């Protein structure tokens, strides 16, 4: 595409006060119910790649124009969709009654007719790339078209609208025929309408009143704008993408699974290209925003979710589920760990089967072992809690040894209280620490102690019943039982 042609085109300054660049809005159609999903959840909130369908599309749109020029057209469960997408900063237009894709644009007319061009995206087609939307926009501007549609050649075009070109070599389109209205010869056409368009706002809104509901669904079809504009002697063109999988829509659960798989594989490929080893990528579930530094190894059957960040030279072994956590360099995560909202220091060793709940901060080189649950704790540098413990609401210093079976009793039935364990403390196995409590630096807690009051530094805390020994007791007992 020649840049010069584009800039000379935009220099003509359509509409707005002689501005040199056209004013472009993006409209995202997201009001439909998604009947084919058989779900209480609105279609566009169904997730692929760890995010709602609509959020993927909004993200792409917001890279084309500022969020203030993006309009999500919502209708079915509108409040729920609005709440879920509020953080994106885009505008919402309410299509209270969903009377078709054409009707969606009619309803948005007030918001959109002040722009020069409107890019229309489908809220249920999240694989669309920013590059393709840019190409489509630029092609539209270059062709000086009233309507430009993105088409794709599909192996199996069933269910999609088909593109009827004036002649096979021309970019010009005569009309789009929906599957239900297509004749058997039209059904053989493999070039489909992707549901992505660019319109000149003046042509769209000057002619949208001509749409009718004379079709199988008794709806206003946006696709009919092709024929309407052709009849008005306006230019309608199609630009065919070379990557047809970009236009796939998630109309059914099976299609959602297909899109999800494509996204996750693409994510794994990107990570591998960036120097991360991913074994059996088809078994790993890695969300779009996850970041991993080079030379880290992800073993089979690992889930890395949300905003998880992993440093370099780590190893995440099989069956870990890690969400919204930050892992430093050189960390070993052994099999079966579950982590959420945790922060792990360089060189730490976790698992197998550790459960790190929100607010767990594990220090450099620290160890958290099997069947240890942590919540809202700081575990200092080089400290170890290797077996069978619950550590909650605790500040634990450096070089501390937490013996097997240690429990911080943080909850009194009403409130949560903090346990402070200073540097170098040794907590013997099977100890319970009843919070609020402070164990001073270098103190020593005897195994099986129940500690209920603070321990000064370097002291011994011993809180268990005195041992009693009764010589010969067991032998006498056995004899007595056998006589009965
Ligand atoms: C549409 C196209 C079809 C194209 C296909 C590509 C029409 C009539 N047909 O069919 O040519 O091949 O997309 O995927 O446009 N929506 C609203 N308001 C409504 C109705 C729908 O916002 O009143 C939204 C939906 O939420 C969805 C999008 O528009 O995100 C497309 O609607 P959908 O019903 O999925 O259209 P398709 O049957 O897929
Ligand atoms: Ca669709």
Average pLDDT over residues 10-29: 69
Report the atom number in ligand 1 closest to the C-alpha of 95: 18
pLDDT exceeds cutoff 60 at 10: no
pLDDT exceeds cutoff 90 at 49: yes
Taking CA atoms only, the protein residue closest to ligand 1 atom 35 is 251
Average pLDDT over residues 311-340: 98
Taking CA atoms only, the protein residue closest to ligand 1 atom 25 is 32
Q: How far away, in angstroms, is 35 Cα from ligand 2 center? A: 11
Residue 14: the pLDDT is 42
Q: What residues does ligand 1 touch, defined as CB less than 6 Å away? A: 29-32, 43, 73, 75, 95, 98-101, 103-104, 122-125, 160-161, 176, 178, 192-195, 221-223, 249, 251
pLDDT exceeds cutoff 90 at 9: no
The active-site residue out of 217, 233, 367, 387 is 387
pLDDT band per the 50, 70, 90 thresholds, residue 470: very high
Residue 166: the pLDDT is 87
CA distances from 353 to 9, 130, 328 (A): 62, 41, 19
Q: How far away, in angstroms, is 250 Cα from ligand 2 center? A: 7
Which one of the ligands is nearest to 44 CA?
A: 1
d(Cα 58, Cα 449) in Å, to the nearest integer?
57
Instruction: State which of 122, 175, 214, 251 you would mutate to test the pocket of ligand 1, scoring each by most atoms of that ligand within 8 A of its C-beta.
Output: 122
Taking CA atoms only, the protein residue closest to ligand 1 atom 17 is 31
Q: What is the pLDDT of residues 360-392, one digit of tens each?
A: 999 999 999 999 999 999 999 999 999 999 999
Instruction: Give residue for tokens 């199996």.
Output: 156
Of the listed ranges 3-7, 45-49, 249-253, 368-372, the one predicted with least confidence: 3-7
The distance of Cα 93 from the centroid of its chain, to the nearest Å, equals 24
Q: What are the phi and psi torsion angles at 198 (to 5°)? A: -125, 130
Strands 343-344 and 326-327: parallel
Q: What is the pLDDT of residues 157-173, one digit of tens each?
A: 999 999 999 888 899 99
Nearest Cα to Cα of residue 174 among 104, 223, 123, 124: 223
Residue 79: the pLDDT is 97
Known catalytic residue: 387? yes
Two tokens, residue 479: 């004899």
Instruction: State which of 32, 149, 152 you would mutate to test the pocket of ligand 1, scoring each by most atoms of that ligand within 8 A of its C-beta.
Output: 32
pLDDT band per the 50, 70, 90 thresholds, residue 336: very high
pLDDT exceeds cutoff 90 at 290: yes
pLDDT band per the 50, 70, 90 thresholds, residue 479: very high
Give the 3-state secondary structure of the chain.
CCHHHHHHHHHCCCCHHHCCCCCEEEEEEECCCCHHHCCCCCHHHCEECCEEHHHHHHHHHCCCCCHHHEEEEECCCHHHHHHHHHHHCCEEEECCCCCCHHHHHHHCHHHHCCCCEEEEEECCCCCCCHHHHHHHHHHHHHHCCCEEEEEEECCCCCCCCEEEECCCCCCEEEEEECHHHCCHHHHCCCEEEEEEEEEEHHHHHHHHHHCCCCCCCCCCCHHHHHHHHHHCCCCEEEEECCCHHHHCCCCCHHHHHHHHHHHHHHHHHHHHHCCCEECCHHHCEECCCCEECCCCEECCCCEEECCCEECCCCEECCCCEEECCEECCCCEECCCCEEECCEECCCCEECCCCEECCCEEECCCCEEEECCEEEEEEECCCCEEEECCEEEEEEECCCCEECCCCEEECECCCCECCEEECCCCEECCCCEEECCEEECCCCEECCCCEECCCECCCCEECCCCCCCCCCCHHHHHHHHHHHC
Residues with CB under 5 A from ligand 2 (ion): 124, 249, 251
d(Cα 54, Cα 48) in Å, to the nearest integer?
10
d(Cα 112, Cα 204) in Å, to the nearest integer?
10
Query: CB–CB of 289/56 below 8 Å?
Result: no
Residue 20: the pLDDT is 72
pLDDT exceeds cutoff 80 at 5: no
Residue 4: the pLDDT is 40
Two tokens, residue 429: 């196995």
Nearest Cα to Cα of residue 371 among 422, 410, 334: 334
Residue 168: the pLDDT is 84
**Percentage of residues of the chain with pLDDT beyond 70:** 96
pLDDT band per the 50, 70, 90 thresholds, residue 6: very low
Residue 327: the pLDDT is 98
Q: Using CB atoms within 10 A of its CB, is residue 436 exposed (0-12), middle (13-18) or buried (19+)?
A: middle
Average pLDDT over residues 251-267: 95
Two tokens, residue 61: 């749109």
Average pLDDT over residues 181-210: 97
Which one of the ligands is nearest to 121 CA?
A: 1
Q: How far away, in angstroms, is 125 Cα from ligand 1 center? A: 10
d(Cα 342, Cα 322) in Å, to the nearest integer?
9
Q: How far away, in angstroms, is 124 Cα from ligand 2 center? A: 6
Residue 484: the pLDDT is 84
Residue 139: the pLDDT is 98
Q: What is the pLDDT of residues 222-248, one digit of tens each?
A: 999 999 999 999 999 999 999 999 999
d(Cα 299, Cα 350) in Å, to the nearest integer?
15
Residue 11: the pLDDT is 38
pLDDT exceeds cutoff 60 at 436: yes
Peptide bond into 436 cis (omega under 30): yes
Report the atom number in ligand 1 closest to the C-alpha of 221: 8
């Amino acid at each position: 595409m020649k840049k010069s042609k584009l800039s000379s085109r935009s220099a003509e300054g359509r509409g707005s006060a002689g501005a040199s660049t056209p004013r472009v809005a993006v409209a995202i159609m997201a009001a439909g119910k998604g009947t084919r999903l058989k779900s209480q959840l609105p279609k566009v909130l169904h997730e692929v790649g760890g995010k709602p369908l609509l959020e993927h599309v909004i993200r792409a749109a917001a890279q084309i124009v500022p969020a203030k020029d993006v309009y999500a057209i919502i209708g079915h469960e509108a409040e729920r969709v609005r709440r879920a997408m509020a953080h994106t900063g885009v505008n919402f237009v309410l299509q209270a009654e969903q009377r078709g894709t054409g009707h969606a644009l009619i309803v948005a007319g007030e918001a959109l007719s002040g722009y020069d061009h409107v890019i229309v995206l489908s809220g249920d087609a999240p694989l669309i790339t920013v590059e393709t939307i840019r190409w489509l926009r630029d092609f539209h501007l270059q062709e000086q078209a009233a309507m430009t549609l993105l088409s794709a050649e599909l192996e199996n075009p069933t269910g999609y609208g088909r593109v009827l070109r004036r002649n096979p070599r021309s970019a010009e389109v005569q009309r789009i025929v929906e599957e239900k209205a297509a004749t058997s010869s039209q059904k053989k056409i493999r070039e489909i309408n992707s549901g992505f368009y660019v319109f000149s706002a003046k042509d769209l809104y000057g002619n949208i009143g001509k749409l009718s509901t004379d079709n199988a669904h008794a709806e206003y079809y946006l696709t009919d704008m092709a024929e309407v504009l052709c009849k008005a002697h306006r230019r309608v063109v199609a630009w065919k993408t070379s990557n047809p999988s970009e236009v796939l829509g998630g109309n059914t659960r099976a299609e959602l699974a297909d899109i999800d798989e494509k996204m996750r594989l693409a994510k794994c490929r990107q990570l591998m290209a960036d120097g991360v080893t991913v074994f059996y990528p088809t078994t790993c579930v890695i969300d779009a925003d996850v970041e991993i530094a080079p030379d880290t190894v992800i073993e089979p059957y690992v889930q890395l979710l949300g905003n998880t960040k992993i440093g370099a030279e780590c190893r995440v072994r099989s069956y870990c589920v890690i969400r919204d956590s930050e892992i430093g360099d050189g960390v070993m995560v052994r099999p079966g760990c579950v982590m959420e909202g945790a922060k792990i220091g360089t060189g730490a060793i976790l698992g197998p089967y550790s459960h790190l709940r929100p607010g767990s901060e594990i220090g450099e080189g620290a160890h958290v072992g099997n069947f240890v649950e942590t919540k809202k704790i700081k575990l200092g540098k080089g400290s170890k809690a290797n077996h069978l413990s619950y550590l909650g609401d605790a500040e634990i210093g450096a070089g501390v040894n937490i013996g097997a079976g240690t429990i911080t009793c943080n909850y009194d039935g009403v409130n949560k209280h903090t346990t402070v364990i200073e540097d170098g403390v040794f907590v013997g196995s099977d100890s319970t620490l009843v919070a609020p409590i402070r164990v001073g630096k270098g103190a020593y807690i005897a195994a099986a102690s129940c500690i209920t009051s603070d321990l000064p530094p370097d002291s011994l805390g011993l809180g268990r019943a005195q041992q009693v020994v009764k010589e010969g007791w067991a032998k006498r007992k056995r004899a007595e039982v056998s006589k009965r």
